[in-house]
């Protein structure tokens, strides 16, 4: 069983790239951000406060989160793929993912995936906390400007109203939260293979990763 771990900031293209790499290698694709998003959605539905840590951890313990290789997300058999991408869920997930006890339970759930199949797992703490001994570790980066430009394009395609400035400010705020979390912070380390995709096409990044994995 092989493990490819990919970390990087919001909007760096991790999702698209990890999904495609998994597909070509016939590995299982795991989007850990989606798992945190499921907890955020459940806590909103249960009218919990961000500070109700114990209740939030209990929600995760009871949750059945299923991820498909096509990127669909099922929470207790309900397709929540779109429901976990709303602004409300996104805003709350930054705070919820700082709960230390939640991260511990999450790590166990994430490690379980690797007992069944070879995996490509992406997130913020996969190369550092979840699978520090992964077979391959990548840090996928892109400039804030490029990530904002890509996100704004996606919003336009989906008909979501936003301005480039708003999107850029939101990304900067998330970067700060992601990099300053007391546990599981997004960090660059010497043993990750660093990729700056600011001036790369998606296909180039995929091929770069596949080459490294094939070496």
43 binds ligand DC (CB under 6 A): no
Q: What's the full length of the chain, in residues?
A: 215
Q: Which of 19-27, 43-51, 123-131, 204-212 is the region at the interface with ligand DC (rule: CB under 6 A)?
A: 123-131
Two tokens at 39? 């907890």
**29/214 with CB nearer ligand DC:** 29
**129/215 with CB nearer ligand DC:** 129
Residues from 154 through 213 that contact ligand DC (CB under 6 A): 174, 178, 184
32 binds ligand DC (CB under 6 A): yes
Q: Do 8 and 139 meet the contact criterion of CB atoms below 8 Å apart?
A: yes
Residues 6+ apart with CB under 8 A from 211: none
9 binds ligand DC (CB under 6 A): no
Q: Do 22 and 29 meet the contact criterion of CB atoms below 8 Å apart?
A: yes
Q: Do 6 and 33 meet the contact criterion of CB atoms below 8 Å apart?
A: no
30 binds ligand DC (CB under 6 A): no
Q: Give the binding-site size for ligand DC (rule: CB under 6 A).
A: 15
Residue 177 CB, nearest approach to ligand DC (Å):
6
SS3 at position 51: coil
Separation between Cα atoms, residue 196 and residue 28, nearest integer Å = 24
Residue 53 CB, nearest approach to ligand DC (Å):
15
33 binds ligand DC (CB under 6 A): yes
Residue 66 sits at φ, ψ, to 5 deg, of -120, 130
- Judged by the rule CB under 6 A, the positions of this chain that interact with ligand DC are 10, 32-33, 36-37, 93-94, 97, 123-126, 174, 178, 184
């Amino acid at each position: 069983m092989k493990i490819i771990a990919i970390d990087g900031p919001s909007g760096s293209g991790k999702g698209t790239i990890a999904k495609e790499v998994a597909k070509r290698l016939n590995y299982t694709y795991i989007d850990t951000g989606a798992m945190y998003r499921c907890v955020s959605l459940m806590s909103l539905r249960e009218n919990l406060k961000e500070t109700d840590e114990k209740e939030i951890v209990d929600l995760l313990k009871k949750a059945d989160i299923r991820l498909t290789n096509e990127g669909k997300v099922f929470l207790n058999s309900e397709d929540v793929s779109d429901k976990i991408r709303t602004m409300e869920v996104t805003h709350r997930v930054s705070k919820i993912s700082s709960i230390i006890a939640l991260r511990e339970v999450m790590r166990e759930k994430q490690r379980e995936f690797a007992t069944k199949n070879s995996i490509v797992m992406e997130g913020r703490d996969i190369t550092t906390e979840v699978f520090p001994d992964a077979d391959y570790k990548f840090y996928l980066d892109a400039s804030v400007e490029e990530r904002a430009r890509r996100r704004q394009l996606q919003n336009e395609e989906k008909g979501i109203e936003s301005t480039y400035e708003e999107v850029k400010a939101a990304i900067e705020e998330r970067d700060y939260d992601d990099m300053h979390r007391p546990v599981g912070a997004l960090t660059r380390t010497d043993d990750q293979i660093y990729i700056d995709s600011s001036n790369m096409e998606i296909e180039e990044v995929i091929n770069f990763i596949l080459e490294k994995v094939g070496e």
